[in-house]
């Protein structure tokens, strides 16, 4: 009886995993899956002069947005006014990832527009860039009740979209703002204060962690640390520009 119970739990887990794998494939643009045995599948042949067409990042982002739709995949949809997908250049060299929309973001459907957003604008400005040059999004797209930290299951469900966004844009550097973004992308439980100050990698893309602007508003003594992290981002962007 016990082994039967284990079997059903494992099966449910596998089904859940496959469901999200299929969702990811669809978001990536896969529309149909071939039927029949693997041997009967015909793959188109590429002649030596052919190039594999690169899908436009703007199109990919539009397709991800379409897939999210009026998402109800987790309980966070219950209290939202607007789903906050993300904003900025689809070809951004730098992507900022925060935690979740707050009050103002939920009202306007735009990420980082409240007090923390104004501080993020200053941070972007210090890099010699504007919001149009970068891309800004969050780990979860709907505001958690009373701005609580998103739960692990909500992060697991929604981060599928964040991963797809990052893969569509393929930036030269990612800046994780705060614990939630840093821990989700680096799959760790270490705090941002332990993770900042060194260069990480996310699927081959350099990643820098720093404090969330909302935390910085409450703890202005951490300003120097954040400017140090921004300086590191600036150096990486300049290095890559210089080839
Ligand atoms: S937080 Fe993400 S998964 Fe949950 S309802 Fe909103 S968009 Fe969907």
User: What dotted CATH number matches 2-28+56-241?
Assistant: 3.40.470.10
Cα(78) to centroid(ligand 1), Å: 10
Ligand 1 atom with the shortest distance to the CA of 80:
6
pLDDT, the chain, mean: 85
Least confident interval from 31-45, 91-105, 183-197: 31-45
148 CA distance to ligand 1 centroid (A)?
A: 15
Measure the CA–CA gap between 54 and 131, rounded to whole angstroms: 25
User: Against a cut of 0.85, is the pTM above it?
Assistant: no
The reply to whether ligand 1 has any atom less than 6 angstroms from the CB of 94 is no
More confident residue, 32 or 235: 235
Residue nearest to atom 2 of ligand 1 (CA): 158
Find, among 198, 228, 196, the residue nearest to 210 by Cα. 196
Range 96-130 burial, b when 16+ CB lie within 10 A, else e: bbbbbbbebbbeebbbbbbebbebbbebbeebebe
Q: Atom 4 (ligand 1): residue with closest C-alpha?
A: 74
At 125, list the tokens. Answer: 């400005």
Q: Where are the alpha helices (DSSP H) in the chain?
A: 2-27, 57-68, 103-108, 115-126, 152-169, 178-186, 192-195, 213-218, 223-241
The percent of residues in the chain predicted with pLDDT above 70, rounded, is 77
**Is the CB–ligand 1 distance for residue 158 below 6 Å?**
yes
Q: Can you tell me the distance from the alpha carbon of 201 to that of 36, in angstroms, rounded to the nearest whole number? A: 39
How far is Cα 59 from Cα 63, in angstroms, rounded to an integer? 6
For 115, the token pair is: 């007090």
Of all protein residues, the one whose alpha carbon is nearest to atom 3 of ligand 1 is 158
């Amino acid at each position: 009886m016990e082994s039967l119970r284990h079997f059903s739990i494992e099966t449910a887990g596998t089904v859940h995993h496959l469901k999200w794998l299929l969702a990811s494939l669809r978001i990536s643009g896969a529309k149909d899956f071939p039927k029949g045995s693997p041997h009967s599948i015909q793959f188109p042949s590429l002649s030596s002069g052919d190039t594999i067409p690169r899908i436009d990042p703007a199109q990919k982002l539009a397709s991800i947005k379409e897939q999210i739709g009026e998402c109800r995949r987790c309980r966070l949809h219950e209290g939202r006014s607007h789903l906050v997908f993300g904003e900025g250049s689809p070809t951004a060299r730098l992507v900022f990832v925060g935690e979740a929309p707050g009050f103002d973001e939920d009202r306007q459907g735009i990420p980082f527009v409240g007090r923390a957003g104004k501080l993020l604008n200053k941070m972007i400005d210090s890099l010699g860039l504007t919001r149009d040059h970068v891309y800004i999004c969050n780990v979860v797209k709907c505001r958690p009740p009373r701005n609580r930290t998103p739960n692990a299951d909500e992060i697991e469900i929604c981060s599928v979209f964040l991963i797809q966004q990052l893969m569509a844009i393929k930036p030269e550097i990612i800046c994780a703002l705060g614990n939630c973004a840093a821990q989700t992308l680096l799959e760790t439980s270490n705090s941002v204060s332990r993770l900042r100050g060194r260069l990480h990698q996310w699927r081959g893309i350099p990643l820098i962690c720093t404090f969330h602007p909302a935390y910085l508003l409450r703890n202005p003594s951490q300003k120097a640390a954040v400017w140090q992290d921004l300086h590191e981002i600036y150096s990486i962007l300049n290095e890559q520009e210089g080839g």
